[in-house]
Structures are given as structure tokens and as C-alpha cells.
Amino acid sequence: MKSGFICPVCGLPLERDGHSYLCPNRHSFDISSKGYVNLLLSSQMNAKLPGDNKLMVNARRSFLEKGYYSHLAETVSHTAVKYFCGGRILDAGCGEGYYTKQVVKALENAEKDFSLLAVDISKAACACTASSFKGNSRVETAAASVFRLPISDNGIFLLITMFSPFCGNEYRRVLGKDGIMIMAIPSKMHLFSLKAAIYDTPYENTVKGFDIEGFSLIEAVECSKNILLDNPTDIQNLFTMTPYYYKTSEEGHKRVNSLESLETEADFTVLIYRKSGDSNGS
């Protein structure tokens, strides 16, 4: 079966053959028991286990499956259906697959003809995503870096990036002419009340301008609501899945551990861009 991925060694197309992906040069990549293929070369790794670890992945999965960020998932899914015109979709930095699942469900409900490639540098995240799509031939999951995507030039119509590292040159390379990029970013008040519970001097998030070289902004959609976490487990999961978990002092961790409930802001902006300029990403 022809794959949407290319060989990370030689760049030739991959085909799925049983439990492996093969290219014409006979480079072979086994599909793990979890259902994803590892296309991340050792030379592309900056750590033995790059990306989010199991603790962060499991915390995020448990938190998101409670529906706290469902307003964001619905906005992104609606936007994907609105702008998708057929072809291949890339979820660049798919994480544990929560948003991937929502987008796929929305596209299937809209009876769209699509295939989706889900990529993340974390093997733990890929395992979660792949487990959600066993038996769904429309979705392929691979461990890979967004800074060196195993995808051919101009092979993607719609690219989705949810809080992942941004690589504009690579995204432009894989997007076809007039391709669409949907990007979700935290807005200035996101999780402010959580930070107020942790830090003596909480701060608003810095939101940069929306201009991105090589892309034209089509639309910016505000997506915000307050969420009530009424138990310590959900609060801990939220805290663990944020960068604050590793940047906060022992005293800050104690403050989080003492919280029985928390109302905080889930404040996002969904940005929709069209690739501008020529179609080869230059």
C-alpha cells in the first residue's frame, strides 16, 4: 500500500508492506506494536528519548479527554472542514492525538475524501495517537521531527500545528500551492489563574504579531472560555502537561498540590494561513 511518507534516508516514496515500510532502495522501517513507524534517524535526535515523555503524554491525554479544551478542538475541527478541499493533511506535532481524533471525526462526518499523516518526535505520543486509529487506513502515524519531515515537496494541502515547534521553511516545502495552515496558539490570558496560584507575581503571556514570512493570514479566531477543575487530579494533570511543571520551584509545586479546585482561563487563538509565493517553498 502506497504511503504518504517518504524514506528519511534517500527521500524515495515508501510503501507499506505487511508490518514494515519499504522504499525502492530497500530501506526498511518496521511498524511498532503500537501502530506507528519510526522515521526519526539517530542523527536527527538531540536526546535518547526526544519530545514529551510518558508522564507528560499521559497527563495531557487524561486532561484533554475530560473535555476541558473541547472548545478549541471544535474550532479547529470546524476550520479544517471549512478550508479542506481534498487531498492529504498533515498534523505536525500531533502529540497524544486528541485534536487529531477530533479533526478526523469532523472530516468523516462531513464525508470528506482525505488521508492524514500524524507526526511527532515523541515515541510515547505517537503510540497514543496510533492506538486511536488502528484499522483506519486513512491515518498514518510516524515518529519524526517537524524540522525534517519525511514528506515529499508540495505533498500536503492542509497542515495543522497545535502548540508545536514551528518550522516555516519545512512547512512551506511540504505544502502545495495555496496550501492552508491552521495554527493554534495560547492567547495572553491563557492559564493566568493557574499561574496566580503558583507564583507571587503572575504574568500574562506574550503574544507576538501574526505575520509569518511566506504565509498570508486569512483569519484569526478567538477561542476562549473559563474552565473549572474540581479535583486535584485534573489540576495536577494540567500542571504536568505545561512547561511550568519543569520551571517551577519546590514551593510552587507545593502550592499546586494543595489546590482542591481551580477556575482558570483556556484562552486560545486559531490562526488560518495560506501559503504565499511559488509552490516549491523557496
pLDDT tens digits, 80-97: 999 999 899 999 999 999
**228 in Cβ contact with 197 (< 8 Å):** no
What residues contact residue 253 under an 8 Å CB cut-off, 6+ apart? none
CA angle 55/60/61 to nearest 5° reads 100
Q: Low-confidence residues of the chain, pLDDT below 50?
A: 279-282
Q: Which SS3 state, helix, strand or coil, does residue 18 take? A: coil
Beta-bridge partner residues of 228: 263
What residues contact residue 180 under an 8 Å CB cut-off, 6+ apart? 83, 84, 157, 158, 159, 218, 272, 273, 274, 275
Question: Beta strand 87-92 with 156-162: parallel, antiparallel or unpaired?
Answer: parallel
What residues contact residue 172 under an 8 Å CB cut-off, 6+ apart? 214, 215, 275, 277, 281
Query: Of 34, 35, 36, 37, whose CA–CA distance to 23 is shortest?
Result: 37
CA distance 72 to 184: 8
Which residue segments constitute the domains of the chain, with CATH numbers given? 1-31 (no CATH), 38-53+60-190+202-227+263-275 (3.40.50.150)
User: What is the layout of strands, in order, in the sheet containing 13-17?
Assistant: 2-6, 13-17, 20-22, 28-30
CA distance 260 to 120: 33
Please report the pLDDT score of residue 48 as a whole number: 56
Beta-bridge partner residues of 181: 159, 273
Please report the pLDDT score of residue 252 as a whole number: 94
pTM of the model: 0.93
Please report the pLDDT score of residue 47 as a whole number: 54
Strand ranges (DSSP E) for the chain?
Answer: 2-6, 13-17, 20-22, 28-30, 37-38, 87-92, 114-120, 139-143, 156-162, 175-186, 215-229, 262-275
Please report the pLDDT score of residue 282 as a whole number: 38
Amino acid (1-letter code) at residue 131: S
